[in-house]
């Protein structure tokens, strides 16, 4: 579905905000929120709603004032319905409550003199509402419960004519308190929303859809140390357009790609290098190092992962391709021939990276949706043509300069790759077998493992990326967790396939290279994925000579050279690795 602006004659918005309370601290900035959002929604430069189609409810004293306005708008909107609330939020075992001027402070009393979020949800998503597009935005404490608690149970009853629904929350379940900085014109979440709507997003389309807006707001909030917001999209909710892009539509420059391990031109001086893939001497890969430099590692406590219980939704033609793959594999299975089974995995919905103000260390937030291996295979047919002549690459990847903006279904895998160093300082390098579906026959990291929705979702908890790497070390190399020290070096994306991953370094405490070979000869649980291992002296020159050996030219996975480079930097420092690289490889650009 292409994004289009709401039909303003058939759309309605209700903005509810409370800046004063009888029993709680005032929130003066909420009034600023209402004024700015009202102005933006009415402005022809942004959306252009008629004034009578955008109702502002300030400081309601009872639930009827807010709900009557919402129900009236829901009855009249046939295109887009928007509900916004800012104020104090409260929660108990029965759910989320939106505060009113008279909401009391006593525990449990909120349910008697506040707006139960369930009423809002039913008015917008169910009931007699006829809008094709429905948006709820909540800027209050505990609002994350609105995006995480059984939303699908209500979504399932929505009219089938609904094109998409969106629920945004200023907070997440893990950080439930919203922020309203003192003396600020706006609250933290709405302030970033207002700034994004007012100024636009450079490089984005001519209209801003909900996903583009949310990504920009999230990144700016985390960069300033505020809580990461939350959201729930249903159907094509993320593609719903809200306002015109004040920054204008800028067509991104095409990114040249070459096979891993081959030479390619370096960008001309002055060209943007913010999203340039990893290069090392004459080698140009498709690996983009999004976070990490090798010298500092990323602590396990800095990686925050959430998995939402909703699946990616494939566009019609990609869904047909997936069905073809399923039928083909079923046929192979029935004939007793080798086939790919449809493992349950995750798709990357969004990634947000911030910094801890005091230390500048990264904080990485990853949210996953449900996907599966057949979806991954379907979306990886990047150059196969659709009926109109376009391809998955040209339609779903090339229009986005920022890989964070690509639709989740195109990122239906997340992998971990580990560089393993034995006690006697040998780097283990593996070669993938011809039986694997991804990069067969290429030289690769010591061990790699993809995130599994079955194995890595124990007790329905969010998966731990470090544990995925540990599982790979156990299954492929027979290493137990007490035998090594594991560090995360980087967060990456393979730009050729648009698949995200994490790079790790594992230093063995006791196991030598000889012991490793002997141990593996006695069997490992996942031996078929790699058909060969080499042991390389873990020093700068031997590693470089091994990687750039002409016999291995063009035979490297996109990930391995970047991983081994960062592993060397972790041991020797970037200056030493750069100096030796230049001596051995000449004047080619090195490093990420």
Is 239 among the domain residues? yes
Nearest-5° Cα angle at 349, 344 to 350: 140
Residue 550 sits in which domain range?
279-585
Instruction: Assess whether 323 and 192 both reside in one domain.
Output: no
Mean pLDDT throughout 554-576?
94
Question: What is the Cα–Cα distance from 101 to 110, expressed in whole angstroms?
Answer: 11
Quick one: pLDDT at residue 280? Answer: 95
Q: Are residues 337 and 208 in the same domain?
A: no
Look up the CATH number of the domain holding residue 150. Answer: 3.40.50.1460
pLDDT in tens, 33-50: 999 999 999 999 999 999
More confident residue, 265 or 332: 332
More confident residue, 436 or 462: 462
> Do 240 and 283 belong to one domain?
no
Domain boundary residue, one of 244, 271, 290:
244
* Same domain membership, residue 287 and residue 207: no
For the chain, state the CA radius of gyration. 26
pLDDT digits (tens, 9 = 90+) for 466-482: 999 999 999 989 999 99
End-to-end CA distance of the chain: 36
Judge if 567 and 471 occupy the same domain: yes
Please write the tens of the pLDDT for every residue from 304-342. Answer: 888 888 899 999 999 999 999 999 999 999 999 888 889
- DSSP secondary structure, 509-571, as one string: SS--HHHHHHHHHT--TT-TTEEEEEEEESSHHHHHHHHT-GGGTT-B-SSHHHHHHHHHHHH
Q: Is the pLDDT of residue 7 over 60?
A: yes
Which two three-digit tokens encode residue 21?
């309370």
- Residue 266 has a pLDDT of 32
Mean pLDDT, the chain, as a whole number?
Answer: 85
Do 299 and 169 sit in the same domain of this protein? no
Is the pLDDT confidence value at 26 over 60? yes
* For residue 192, pLDDT beyond 60: yes
* Percent of the chain clearing pLDDT 70 (strictly above): 85
Contact 225, 167 (CB under 8 A): no
Contacts of 34 (CB under 8 A, 6+ apart): 15, 17, 56, 58, 86
What average pLDDT does this structure show over 134-160? 67
Indicate the residue among 244, 271, 288 that finishes a domain: 244
Q: Is 205 exposed, middle or buried (0-12, 13-18, 19+ CB in 10 A)?
A: buried
Q: What is the mean pLDDT of residues 223-234?
A: 81
In a domain, 252, yes or no: no
pLDDT top residue among 237 and 158: 237
Residue 1 placed within a domain: no
In total, how many domains does the chain have? 2
Q: Is residue 376 part of a domain?
A: yes
Taking only the tens place, the pLDDT of each residue in 90-104 is 988 788 999 999 988
pLDDT in tens, 501-532: 999 999 999 999 999 999 878 876 665 566 78
Q: Is residue 182 part of a domain?
A: yes
214 and 298, same structural domain?
no
Contact 131, 81 (CB under 8 A): yes
Instruction: Write the CATH number for 543.
Output: 3.90.79.10
Note whether 314 and 174 are same-domain residues: no
520 and 421 assigned to the same domain: yes
Residues 557, 563: Cα–Cα separation, whole Å: 11
Tell me if 264 sits within 8 A of 219, measured CB to CB. no
Binned at pLDDT 50, 70 and 90, residue 196 comes out as very high
Mean pLDDT calculated for residue range 425-433: 91
Lowest mean pLDDT across 203-207, 426-430, 513-517 = 203-207
Asked, for residue 4, whether it belongs to a domain, the answer is no
Residue 152 domain-assigned (yes or no): yes
Q: Whole-model pTM?
A: 0.60
For residue 527, what pLDDT is reported? 58
255 backbone dihedrals φ, ψ, rounded to 5°: -100, 115
pLDDT above 80 for 459: no
List, edge to edge, every strand of the sheet that includes 283-284.
283-284, 279-280, 590-591
In a domain, 459, yes or no: yes
Which one is predicted more confidently, 308 or 568?
A: 568
Give the mean pLDDT of 426-448: 81
Residues 531 and 456 both lie in one domain: yes
Cα 512 to Cα 496: distance, rounded to the nearest angstrom = 36
Among 220-234, 282-296, 385-399, 540-554, which stretch is predicted with the lowest mean pLDDT? 220-234
Sheet holding 303-311, edge to edge: 303-311, 362-372, 344-355
| pLDDT of 108 over the 70 cut | no
| Per-residue pLDDT reduced to its tens digit, 373-400 | 999 999 999 999 999 999 999 999 888 8
- The mean pLDDT value for 561-589 works out to 89
Question: Which of 217, 244, 271 finishes a domain?
Answer: 244
Same domain, yes or no, for 235 and 316?
no
CA–CA–CA angle 477, 479, 482 (5° rounding): 165
Same domain, 224 and 314: no
What span, in angstroms and rounded, lies between the C-alpha atoms of 165 and 171? Answer: 19
pLDDT of residue 358: 56
How far is residue 230's CA from residue 146's CA, in Å, rounded to a whole number?
A: 9
């Amino acid at each position: 579905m292409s994004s289009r602006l709401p039909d303003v004659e058939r759309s309605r918005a209700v903005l509810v905000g409370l800046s004063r309370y009888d029993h709680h601290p005032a929130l003066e900035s909420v009034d600023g929120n209402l004024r700015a959002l009202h102005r933006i929604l009415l402005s022809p430069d942004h959306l252009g709603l008629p004034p009578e189609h955008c109702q502002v409810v300030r400081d309601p004293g009872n639930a009827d004032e807010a709900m009557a306005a919402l129900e009236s708008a829901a009855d009249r909107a046939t295109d887009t319905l928007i509900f916004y609330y800012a104020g104090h939020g409260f929660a108990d075992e029965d759910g989320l409550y939106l505060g009113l001027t008279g909401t009391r402070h006593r525990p449990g009393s909120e349910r008697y003199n506040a707006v139960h979020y369930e009423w809002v949800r039913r008015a917008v998503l169910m009931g007699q509402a006829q809008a094709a597009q429905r948006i709820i935005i909540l800027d209050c404490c505990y609002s994350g419960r609105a995006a995480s608690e059984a939303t699908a149970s209500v979504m399932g009853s929505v009219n089938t004519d609904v094109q998409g629904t969106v629920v945004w929350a200023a907070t997440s379940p893990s950080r439930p308190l919203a922020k309203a900085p003192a003396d600020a014109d706006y609250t933290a979440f709405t302030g970033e929303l207002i700034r994004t709507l007012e100024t636009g997003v450079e490089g984005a389309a001519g209209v801003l859809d909900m996903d583009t807006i949310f990504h920009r707001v999230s990144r700016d909030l985390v960069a300033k140390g505020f809580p990461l917001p939350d959201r729930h999209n249903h159907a094509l909710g993320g593609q719903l357009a809200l306002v015109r892009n004040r920054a204008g539509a800028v067509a991104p420059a095409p990114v040249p790609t070459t096979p891993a391990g081959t030479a390619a031109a370096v960008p001309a001086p002055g060209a943007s290098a913010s999203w340039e893939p990893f290069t090392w001497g004459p080698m140009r890969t498709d690996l983009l190092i999004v976070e990490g430099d090798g010298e500092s590692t990323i602590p396990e406590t800095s990686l925050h992962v959430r998995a939402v219980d909703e699946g990616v939704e494939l566009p019609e033609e990609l869904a047909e391709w997936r069905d073809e793959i399923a039928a083909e594999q079923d046929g192979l299975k029935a004939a007793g021939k080798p086939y790919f089974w449809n493992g349950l995995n995750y798709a990357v919905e969004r990634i947000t990276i911030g910094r801890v103000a005091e230390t500048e260390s990264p904080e990485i937030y990853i949210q996953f949706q449900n996907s599966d291996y057949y979806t991954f295979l379907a979306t990886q047919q990047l150059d196969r043509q659709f009926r109109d002549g376009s391809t998955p690459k040209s339609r779903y990847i090339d229009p986005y300069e920022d890989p964070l903006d690509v639709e989740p279904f195109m990122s239906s895998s997340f992998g971990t790759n580990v560089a393993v160093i034995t006690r006697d300082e040998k780097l283990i390098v593996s070669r993938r077998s011809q039986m694997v579906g991804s990069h067969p026959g290429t030289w690769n990291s010591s061990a790699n493992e993809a995130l599994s929705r079955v194995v890595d979702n124990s007790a329905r908890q969010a998966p731990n990326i470090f544990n995925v790497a540990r599982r790979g070390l156990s299954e492929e190399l027979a290493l137990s967790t007490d035998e090594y020290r594991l560090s995360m070096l980087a967060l990456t994306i393979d730009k050729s396939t648009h698949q995200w991953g994490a790079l790790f370094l594992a230093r063995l405490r006791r196991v030598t290279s000889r012991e490793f070979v002997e141990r593996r000869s006695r069997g490992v649980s996942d031996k078929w994925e790699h058909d060969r291992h080499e042991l390389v002296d873990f020093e700068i020159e031997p590693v470089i000579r091994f990687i750039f050996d002409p016999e291995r030219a063009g035979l490297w996975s996109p990930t391995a050279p970047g991983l081994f480079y960062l592993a060397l930097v972790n041991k020797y420092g970037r200056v030493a690795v750069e100096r030796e690289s230049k001596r051995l490889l000449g004047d080619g650009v090195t490093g990420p």
